[in-house]
Amino acid sequence: MELKEKVVVITGGSGGIGKAMAKAFLEQGAQAIVLADLSADAVAQAAQQLGCDGRACNVTDEAQIQELVTYVETKYGRVDLFCSNAGAGGEGVFLDAANEVWENQWALHVMAHVYAARAVLPGMIERGAGYLLNTASAAGLLAALGSGPYTVTKAAAVKLAEFISITHGDDGIKVSVLCPQGVNTAMAPRRLGDGQTDGIIEADELAQTVVETLREERFYVLPHPEVEEYVRRKGDNVDRWLHGMRRLRARSVGGE
C-alpha cells in the first residue's frame, strides 16, 4: 500500500508509536489521518500539533469503535487503513496476576482489534480493498518474561491478525501485525541487561519501518530485525527455545 491519498485511522494516537506513525503517514501524502485515544485532551493536542483530525475513543468499548468508524466514513468517505494500535503493560508474571489484569489486557490487546475489524471490514470488503495494521509485540511472537497477561494477549493479537488475513485476504483485505521490541515510549523496558530486548529504538524509526512494510504488504512488521531469526529458531526446535528462555529468566530474576 502506498499511503498517498489514503484515509487512515490510528488508535492510541496521542503519543508514542501512534503519533510517530501519523507523522510519517502525513509525510507520505496521506489524505487524512484521524487519531483516536482515550484522553480527549491528549488526542486533541496531538492532532493540533500534526494538523490532522482527533477523536476521543475507548477502544475496549465496541460502540465507541463503531462510532469512530462511522464518523470517519461519513466525513472522509471510507477507511483505507485502520491502525489498531492502543495498548498498555500488564502487571504480574502469572500466579500473581489478578483476574482484572488478565481481563483488561484481553479487552485492550484482543477485543479492541476484533471491534475494529468488525467496524471497518464491511466497507472494505464492499470496495474490495482495505488494510488492517494491528499492533502486537515481539512478546507475542516470543515472550515477555515479566508479564504473563501481556505476553499471552499479544500472542492472541498475532493469531487474530493471521486469522483475518486467512479469512478475508481473498476479499482484497491486507493485514500486517506490528511486533517491536523496546521502543522509546512510556512503555519502554527500563532494563537492557537481561537479554529481553536488542535495544530501544525511537518511535520515528519504527514508523519508517511501518511505511516500508506497508508498501511491500508484508505480514510481519519487525522494527527489530533480529526478531525474525529468533522466531525461526523457535520454530526449528521449540523445546530448545523453551530451555533457553528458562535460562534467560533465571539470569533475569537473579539480576534483580
Read off the amino acid at residue 246: R
Cα separation, 168 vs 4, whole angstroms: 24
Q: Evaluate whether residue 83 is within a structural domain.
A: yes
Q: Evaluate whether residue 189 is within a structural domain.
A: yes
Give all strands of the β-sheet with 220-221 in edge-to-edge order: 53-56, 32-37, 7-11, 81-84, 130-135, 173-178, 220-221
SS3 at position 102: helix
Q: What is the CATH number of the domain that holds 77?
A: 3.40.50.720
**CA distance readout (Å), 159 to 33, 44, 219, 240:** 27, 33, 12, 23
pLDDT tens-digit map of 83-123: 999 999 988 999 899 999 999 999 999 999 999 999 999 99
Cα separation, 245 vs 234, whole angstroms: 10
Cα separation, 11 vs 45, whole angstroms: 15
Q: Evaluate whether residue 251 is within a structural domain.
A: no
Q: What is the structure's pLDDT at 135? A: 98
Cα separation, 198 vs 240, whole angstroms: 20
Q: Evaluate whether residue 24 is within a structural domain.
A: yes
pTM: 0.92
Report which secondary-structure segment, H or E, holds 43: helix 40-50
Q: Rounded to the nearest 10 degrees, what angle do helices 62-76 and 112-127 cross at? A: 30
Q: Evaluate whether residue 247 is within a structural domain.
A: no
Q: Evaluate whether residue 41 is within a structural domain.
A: yes
Q: What is the mean pLDDT of the chain?
A: 93
| HSE-up of residue 9 (Cα within 13 Å, Cβ side) | 34
- The tally of domains found in the chain comes to 1
Domain range for 153 is 7-226
Q: Evaluate whether residue 2 is within a structural domain.
A: no
pLDDT tens-digit map of 13-71: 999 999 999 999 999 999 999 999 999 999 999 999 999 999 999 999 999 999 999 99
Q: Evaluate whether residue 175 is within a structural domain.
A: yes
